[in-house]
Amino acid sequence: MKYEIKGEPMPVVIAHLDENESMITEGGSMAWMSPNMQMETVGGGLGKVFGRLVSGERLFQNIYTARGGEGLIAFASSFPGSVRAVEVTPDRPLIAQKSAFLASTQGVELSVFFQKRLGAGLFGGEGFVMQKISGSGLVFLEFDGSTVEYELGAGQQIIVDTGNLAMMDATCSVDIQSVKGIKNMLLGGEGIFNTVVTGPGKVTLQTMPMSAFAANLIPYLPKPAPSTSSK
């Protein structure tokens, strides 16, 4: 399979498949394809369906297979940002933000990943439930805004606003710490908690979480007209 990623900040993955080669995607991600691409919708059992529901993905997935020759299929992102192609191996699974999965080759497995530490579970917000991506193959992940990568050594830490954590190696651990100082909590405008990622492993951060983007739009949205009632 050959691929190209075009069109950031509204990117699309264009995959060129050999005969009988397949791609897996979420429902609604296919943008265009050649006529010989055959689609099959799968659920994968109650456990996997529940895991996808909790992690923010659709309940079912579509498998597209090239039949009778080479095929072409394109998968479009759902939000302005970037798409990254990541090779997954059995000895190096990944943890990604929920809703990051766009498409993958067969052999890649998705499951729900809950933060094990109590603090992360209670106060992790949108970072509490993430996706574990394992198996073997190529996965395409969509992130909000641009991405920056850091390689953390054993015990090395980075403090991140929870929504900016996009992806990390499964060897990394995550916890939540409170912002120091009551005045900083109440008046600093950075919230009450931050995410602490501890290495070893690679961490990918995103520059514009969808939640922050939506919050910045609120002041510019038209306000509803006041209701009038006649007595």
The pLDDT tens digits for 4-32 are 999 988 999 999 999 999 999 987 889 99
Domain count for the chain, please give it: 1
Please calculate the CA angle 215-173-137 and round it to the nearest 5 degrees.
85
pLDDT of residue 48: 52
pLDDT of residue 115: 63
Mean pLDDT of the chain: 82
In a domain, 23, yes or no: yes
**Strands, sheet with 71-76, edge to edge from the N-terminal-most edge strand:** 2-6, 12-17, 71-76, 30-33
**What does pTM read for this prediction?**
0.80
The CA radius of gyration of the chain, in Å to the nearest whole number, is 20
**Does 126 have pLDDT greater than 80?**
no
φ, ψ of residue 184 in degrees (nearest 5): -65, -40
Q: Which of 39-43, 84-88, 206-210 has the highest mean pLDDT?
A: 84-88
In a domain, 19, yes or no: yes
Q: Look at residues 62, 79, 229, 87 and name the one whose alpha carbon lies nearest to residue 169.
A: 87
In a domain, 111, yes or no: yes
The pLDDT tens digits for 180-202 are 645 444 444 455 678 899 999 99
Range of the domain at 128: 2-214
CATH of the domain at 172: 3.60.160.10
In a domain, 99, yes or no: yes
In a domain, 15, yes or no: yes
Of the two residues 163 and 23, the one the predictor is more confident about is 23
In a domain, 225, yes or no: no
pLDDT (mean) for 151-169: 93
In a domain, 220, yes or no: no
